[in-house]
Amino acid sequence: MAEVVVRRAFLSPVIQLICERLASTDFSDYLHEKLVKKLEITLVSINQVLDDAETKKYENQNVKNWVDDASNEVYELDQLLDIIASDAAKQKGKIQRFLSGSINRFESRIKVLLKRLEFLADQKNILGLHELSRYYYEDGASRFSTASLVAESVIYGREHEKEEIIEFLLSDSHGYNRVSIISIVGLDGIGKTTLAQLVYNDHMTRDQFEVIGWIHVSESFNYRHLIKSVLKSISLSTLYDDDKEILKRQLQQRLAGKKYLLVLDDVWIKHCNMLERLLLIFNQEPSRGRMIVTTHDKEVASVMRYTQILHLRQLEESDSWSLFVRHAFEGRNMFEYPNLESIGMKIVEKCGGSPLALKTLGILLQRRFSENEWVKILETDLWRLPESDSNIYSVLRMSYLNLPSNLKHCFAYCSIFPKGYEFEKDGLIKLWMAEGLIKGIAKDEEELGNKFFNDLVSMSFFQQSAIMPFWAGKYNFIMHDLVHDLATSMSGEFCLRIEGVKVQDIPQRTRHIWCCLDLEDGDRKLKQIHNIKGVRSLMVEAQGYGDKRFKISTNVQYNLYSRVQYLRKLSFNGCNLSELADEIRNLKLLRYLDLSYTEITSLPNSICMLYNLHTLLLEECFKLLELPPNFCKLINLRHLNLKGTHIKKMPKEMRGLINLEMLTDFIVGEQRGFDIKQLAELNHLRGRLRISGLKNVADPADAMAANLKDKKHLEELSLSYDEWREIDDSETEAHVSILEALQPNSNLVRLTINDYRGSSFPNWLGDHHLLGCKLCSKLPQIKQFPSLKKLSISGCHGIGIIGSEFCRYNSSNFTFRSLETLRFENMSEWKDWLCIEGFPLLKELSIRYCPKLKRKLPQHLPCLQKLEIIDCQDLEASIPIAYNIIQLELKRCDGILINKLSSNLKKVILCGTQIIESALEKILFNSTFLEELEVEDFFGQNLEWSSLDMRSCNSLRTLTITSWHSSSLPFALHLFTNLNSLVLYDCPLLESFFGRQLPSNLGSLRIERCPNLMASIEEWGLFQLKSLKQFSLSDDFEIFESFPEESMLPSSINSLDLKNCSCLKKINCKGLLHLTSLESLYIEDCPCLESLPEEGLPISLSTLSIHDCPLLKQLYQKEQGERWHTICHIPNVTIS
């Protein structure tokens, strides 16, 4: 077999670390020197042939078994050494007689392990394993290019396909009756997801859709999980419901009237049934939705109706060569290496036009320009592995074998995650550290972990997720399915995922488990885990929401902690957990504990006995009020995340936790031991730190002692006084001197100051966020911030003028040359803005709750896309000239002048009589692309517009009118020919629609608190609206006793809501039964409604919801009501 370059094998760093530990003084008191020496020799003997075994195991089952056996024994030895080290730390200083018992206790176990390792060492010659030349991972700069750490911006051979998809998405030729789908079909690794990402992130696509979402369809998805994933991808709010019908309603409401794009990535044929059910939700009303589906199975595309199919073929030869060359030569001139071209062409041919294979091999050969190395890759027998379906898997395996061994271990560990799982960079590095995968290699483990992660991204083992979480400002990552298969193959039986309802037997050698628990089988799954004594990682995920999740009770924990005592990592993130059992103290080796997003109220003091704990994550544990009193004993703690907790004070003597690198929050106390001086020695802190309770700092010397200036790794610092009482002049001056003493290191990237009461800012301040600085009379000197993109100033009530100290501008020098977002909020005394130029890249300008601001706004903002002015009653100024603006919101700012308007406006919100009178006609006349319009609080006379040509508003899809106190509207609604959604709320004087007609394409109509309008409902012509799907009615003024009348509503309606109908006594069966498409009937607050129609409800009905209707509740209560039997056949019934 031709030799392939292999970089140190999978177990090497573990064996290396074990040898280092055996040589330390911690073990000299526990193990005799001769035994340690024999152990070291045996381990080195095994280590010498691991490289060869790593390659040969793919074609020789005996070698594979040998590698697995060696891995298991090394795990056992590593675990035993952990126990000894923990015991040594606990027994330091105790009398010598203890040691003889310890030696006997541990040596006997070591001897058993030694005998098994010696047997494995003897087998290496029989198996023909030899020592190979070594390639070591260097701690210096990465070998791989950092260019591949960002999303691909250059594509090869896919330009035509990208244009075809975008043309399909933007075309109006599909109509609005149903969601339009394009399916990208192709082999694994052919670039389906990459192509979809390029389309998804293209500015042409994003500019055209109001709502976009990306969903990776996991193999284990069910219908409920799919709906929740869609909602999560398009909504900023967290979902806590698990009811399918409520989820469906939430999804319908989120997308109603919206132009949306959804990408369903990696769909399998087994998903088709639930996808068809999902499409029924989308198609219940006229849809402006588009969907991209990626799949390797062409049957998926044929099963899904209304779809266009794009078959993604292999790259052409020229494109394949260009992609390979780009990564292999990395900007070098290929012609400098003529001897490599012919070899490279043959390698490219073997890749079969797969972009994944071409990119992976190109990066593998990056900066290697030896002909010998290229020939080894070309001729390796790994191309002919029998179990491989295609050459893609062979390429990935070659790339894996060429990783340094510590990277191999880090990569293989990731097989613990399910397919499609999105992970965050810093979180994964913490897991690697807890497992010891990067321990002892460098002083700064986190920095090295960051380098490891970047290299795995460079080698295409990790790729960026399509979506950037809005809260993070950075990407999550994901593994391609083929890459995940490789990781699973490499980790073998040592990593296990327990998903779905089937619980297979767990191999005794399993070390790392990811487990999804649900109500039905949570206990059963945990009982099987109890039998695996050597488990090192247990990551538990809860299925469902709220009380519908499996409860991690103290009894469940007791059974777990008593049986699985060698855990290093334990995660209950997001689980139904309210109390941590005292038996957590049994997990003496625990290094990582994640209780984030649980409802835990306190931590037991026994947690302070976990001396090996490095990471404690408590993010968003909103019921947690305090940490245990002996917390300072956790001297090895490195990461403490308290973000989102309600902890009132810190534990005493935090200054002793000198290894802390992450401390998200510190609350300053009044008493000694709780004061700000506790931060003095914590100079390894990095990332983000929020210091609150600065009102408790009385002496500037204490603030100086906190030593913020030496904390050079901090990137974000938040300082908060949390004080709202009135203070005198002496306290005001104290605020100034204390803030002066809190000077941070100059490496700081972001600074936020809340509730500052000083009369001036400190000299060191160049600001990013100023929140609640009430007494300051002017902003600090703003120096050059060439990279600053976002600036928010809020609650600075003492500021009356913003002048040149804030922004210096001349024709060649912009203070804010990169600023994209500028926000002023809640500044009660601000009157003048004198410096209004120098914002060349500003995209968003927001001025809110500044009631005394009088004049001048920036006029030349060439990049402005969003302008928001709210509650600035005294402002008399022209809005900026901005031809790219697409969103405009003007509320209660009647002095605003609109001279020139962009024709590109897509969304407009106007509130207040004067602004509506002066602006609405201009906006409707000029805004060809306007899609969404909201008007609110009009108290003027009837508006009469004679010149308005409604043909300019053909793009309008959504219209919301609230608190319109006039008898008519100034426009005929039926002229908005593409209007899909109409909401009229609290329009008590409105008598009728102009022209007495509604738009023929209307899909959703909601009318509330409009009594005069409701009196003419029979004149609206609702029956003629053949596209109407959703109708919501609120009769607050007691007009109806019976509803709906016969032939009032069109048969197309699938959702009917009746709310606050206080006089409604019956539902007219003749008006209801002809609604043959009705799926959802929602009735709320109808106290006089006596019963549902005796003739029954439409047979199409699948959801019936009744709330605050006492007479109906009595009659139709589940299994107890007299008439329950008449509705029990409906799949989903809710009565409350």
| Domain containing residue 306: CATH number | 3.40.50.300
The answer to whether 1132 touches 1104, Cβ cutoff 8 Å, is yes
The single-letter code of the amino acid at 315 is: L
> What is the C-alpha to C-alpha distance for residues 107 and 33, in angstroms, rounded to an integer?
11
Q: Where are the alpha helices (DSSP H) in 706-837?
A: 729-741
Q: Do 303 and 357 fall within a single domain?
A: no
Q: Which ranges constitute the DSSP H helices of 191-239? A: 192-201, 203-208, 223-234
Tell me the mean pLDDT in the region 934-952. Answer: 71
Give the lowest-confidence range in 46-50, 196-200, 234-238: 234-238
Nearest to 774 by CA among 831, 709, 724: 724
Which pLDDT value is given to residue 472?
45
C-alpha–C-alpha distance, residues 716 and 750, integer Å: 5
Cβ neighbours around 658 below 10 Å, total: 12
Give the per-residue pLDDT at 710: 92
The mean pLDDT value for 614-634 works out to 95
536-540, 564-568, 945-949, 1082-1086: the lowest-pLDDT one: 945-949
CA distance 701 to 675: 12
113, 128: one domain: yes
Has residue 138 got a pLDDT over 50? Answer: no
Q: How far apart are alpha carbons 233 and 211 in whole angstroms?
A: 10
Query: Residue 852: CB partners within 8 Å, gap ≥ 6?
Result: 828, 829, 830, 831, 874
Q: How many structural domains compose the chain? A: 7
Which residue reads 């206990």 in tokens?
Answer: 523
User: Is residue 923 in a domain?
Assistant: no
Say yes or no to pLDDT of 50 above 50: yes
Tokens 């152990």 found at? 39
Q: How many secondary structure helices (H) and strands (E) does the chain include?
A: 29, 41
Say yes or no to pLDDT of 1133 above 50. yes
Residues 362 and 275 in one domain: no
Q: What average pLDDT does the chain have?
A: 82
**DSSP state for residue 299 in the 8-state scheme:** H
- The answer to whether position 29 is within a domain reads yes
Mean pLDDT computed over 1043-1048: 86
- 699, 759: one domain: yes
Confidence of residue 782 (pLDDT cuts 50, 70, 90): low
In a domain, 606, yes or no: yes
Strand 1103-1107 to strand 1066-1067: parallel, antiparallel, or no bridges (unpaired)? unpaired
Four-point Cα dihedral 219, 220, 222, 227, nearest 10: -70
- The residues, any chain, with a CB within 8 Å of residue 843's CB and separated by 6 or more, are 820, 821, 863, 864, 865, 866
Q: What is the 3-state secondary structure (H, E, C) of 698-712?
A: CCHHHHHHCCHHHCC
Q: What tokens does 301 get?
A: 């595309």
Beta bridge partners of residue 307, listed in sequence order: 181
**Which amino acid appears at position 1041 of this protein?**
E
CA distances from 694 to 16, 719, 721, 723, 742 (A): 48, 7, 5, 9, 10
Q: Which of 246-260, 621-635, 997-1011, 1109-1123 has the lowest mean pLDDT?
A: 246-260
Whether residue 15 contacts residue 46, with contact meaning beta carbons closer than 8 Å, is answered with: yes
Say whether both 750 and 614 belong to one domain.
Answer: no
Q: Does residue 33 share a domain with residue 169? A: no
Is the distance from CB of 1118 to CB of 1133 less than 8 angstroms?
yes
Tokens 């549902």, located at residue: 1092
What distance in Å separates the CA atoms of residue 513 and residue 570, rounded to the nearest whole number? 10
**Could you tell me if residue 654 is inside a domain?**
no
- Domain co-membership, 281 together with 189: yes
Strands (E) located in 53-177:
none
pLDDT at 1102: 83
Q: Interhelix angle for 338-350 vs 371-379, to 10°?
A: 20
pLDDT of residue 801: 86
Evaluate whether 249 touches 1080 at the Cβ level (below 8 Å): yes
Domain hosting residue 802, numbered range? 774-902
The pLDDT of residue 245: 74
From 82, 92, 24, select the one nearest 614 (Cα to Cα). 82
Domain boundary among 880, 902, 924: 902
Tell me the three state secondary structure of residue 319. Answer: helix
How many beta carbons lie within 10 A of that of residue 708, not counting itself?
Answer: 24
Dihedrals φ, ψ of 88, to 5°?
-65, -40
CATH at 524: 3.80.10.10
Q: What is the DSSP letter of 238?
A: P
For residue 393, count other CB atoms closer than 10 A to its CB. Answer: 21
Mark whether 54 and 181 lie in a shared domain: no
Angle between the 192-201 and 159-170 helix axes, to the nearest 10 degrees? 50
Query: Does the structure show a pLDDT above 80 at 142?
Result: no
The single-letter DSSP state of residue 192 is H
pLDDT (0 to 100) of residue 1041: 84
Mean pLDDT, range 1120-1124, rounded to an integer: 87
Q: What is the pLDDT of residue 1037?
A: 57
Q: Which amino acid is at 309?
A: I
Domain boundary (741, 765, 789) is at 765
| Nearby residues of 650 by Cβ (< 8 Å), 6 or more positions away | 627, 666, 667, 669, 674, 678
* DSSP-assigned beta bridge partners for residue 1032: 1006, 1057
Q: Last residue of some domain: 746, 765, 784?
A: 765
pLDDT of residue 870: 94
Strand partners, 295: 185
- Res. 471 pLDDT band, cuts 50 70 90: very low
- The burial of 97, by beta-carbon neighbours within 10 Å (0-12 exposed, 13-18 middle, 19 or more buried), is given as exposed
Give the residue among 982, 981, 976, 943 at the shortest CA–CA distance from 961.
982
- Is the backbone of residue 100 left (phi > 0), alpha (psi -120 to 50) or beta? alpha
pLDDT at 765: 64
Q: What is the pLDDT of residue 136?
A: 42
| Residue of 934, 937, 880 whose CA lies nearest to 914 | 937
Contact partners, residue 304, CB within 8 Å, separation at least 6: 181, 183, 272, 275, 276, 279, 293
% residues pLDDT > 70 (the chain): 84
pLDDT value of residue 527 = 85
- Of the candidates 913, 872, 866, 920, which has an alpha carbon nearest to the alpha carbon of residue 896? 872
Please name which of 626, 750, 618 lies closest in space to residue 688, comparing C-alpha atoms: 750
Express each pLDDT in 101-135 by its tens digit: 555 667 888 889 999 999 999 998 898 888 775 44
Helix axes 272-282, 223-234, angle to 10 degrees: 50
Question: Concatenated DSSP letters for 1006-1026?
Answer: EEES-HHHHTTGGGS-GGG-T
Do 509 and 644 belong together in one domain?
yes
| Average confidence (pLDDT) over 650-673 | 93
pLDDT digits (tens, 9 = 90+) for 405-441: 788 889 999 999 998 888 999 999 999 999 888 865 4
Residue 122 lies in a domain: yes
Q: DSSP secondary structure string, 919-974?
A: HHHHHHHH-TT--EEEEEEE-SPPP--SS--GGGGTT--EEEEEEE-SSS-SS-GG
Q: Is 911 within the bounds of a domain?
A: no
pLDDT of residue 344: 87
Residue 941 and residue 914: Cα distance in Å, rounded?
11
Work out the average pLDDT over 267-295.
80
In a domain, 940, yes or no: no
pLDDT of residue 460: 81
162 φ, ψ (degrees, to nearest 5): -60, -45
Q: Is residue 999 part of a domain?
A: no
pLDDT at residue 947 above 80? no
| Angle of helix 12-22 versus helix 33-48 axis, rounded to 10 | 160
Say whether 24 sits in a helix, a strand or coil: coil
Contact 1041, 1060 (CB under 8 A): no
| Residues 644 and 515 reside in one and the same domain | yes
> What is the distance between the alpha carbons of residues 573 and 641, in angstroms, rounded to a whole number?
13
Residues 520 and 623 placed together within one structural domain of the fold: yes
Q: Residue 1133 is inside which H or E element, if any?
A: strand 1132-1135
Q: Compute the distance between CA of residue 923 and CA of residue 938 in angstroms, rounded to an integer.
A: 16
Looking at the fold, whether 613 and 636 belong to one and the same domain comes out as: yes
- 981-985/958-964 β-pairing: parallel
Which pLDDT does position 469 carry in this prediction?
A: 45
How many Cα neighbours within 13 Å face the side chain of 210?
18
pLDDT at 811: 47
Pairing of strands 1042-1043, 1004-1008: unpaired
Query: How far is residue 976's CA from residue 985's CA, in Å, rounded to a whole number?
Result: 19
Mean pLDDT of 696-700: 90
Band (772; pLDDT cuts 50, 70, 90)? low
